[in-house]
Structure 1
């Protein structure tokens, strides 16, 4: 259905109102699923030039870069999202957090989770899965992580504090190993 989607998108672009951010984001998604980088980048750039790119636009590009193994570009997108204030909900934070966790960037992952917490955005199940992965990759036992998860289910604030403590300790260890 790629050609049909492209034709419909071109028709929207040629209409009086032009393509909106939703249809453009849909095209980026179509291109992303097919790893069509140049085509997705073209739509992304056009949205940025119009000042219409939103958090979903950036998330789809971040996912595309991650999918094709271009973590350097995914990190740039994540930084732009942070700098532009586009991290607004658990989904956007989770996408950025996921890029850092999957690449083993402990410091950035911890910072992202701390920013999420400071912004008053409650972690969801996806956030907790990413934190579980990060903590177990850093050597925290599955049993200990399981206790944190139970704590978060019973009392989210207490659970978040447990995660923050564990993550801060890991980040400190990571910092001392890199200096």
Structure 2
């Protein structure tokens, strides 16, 4: 199978890629509704489908479901935070799993793309995010956010799971953190 990556290589989209070599294929990329700041609707993210017969035993799949669908995306860049939340909204995502370090020094790591203080808000062009609660464990921080679409007034809950054992340029020493075993 050979799929192109032409949309990711357009000059107006290059600023939305963390690197030139990690980009989505045309046939699986997430396509956002275009808007003024993103006329091509491009985001560095891919739709993934996994047949449940291949899932490890520790995943519970509802009866009748045969395919799990999810989105894999790079950590948003400062310039793509609005696009990231548009993707979360348009895809109907309910859970965000963060597998990289948070950038608190304003360098090239993942910028903070959600509010960090309970009951605080982050206002974007089309959405408002509110941090409702946060719980911490040895391996992760779980935050419950609400996202409100300013055009419709509709609100949704989002669970944000931030894994602390996944450092930039490496992988965790054990799968225990990801599987909730301590």
**TM-score between both structures, scaled by the size of structure 2:** 0.32
Structure richer in strand, relative to its length: 2
Structure richer in helix, relative to its length: 1
Larger radius of gyration: 1
**TM-score between both structures, scaled by the size of structure 1:** 0.33
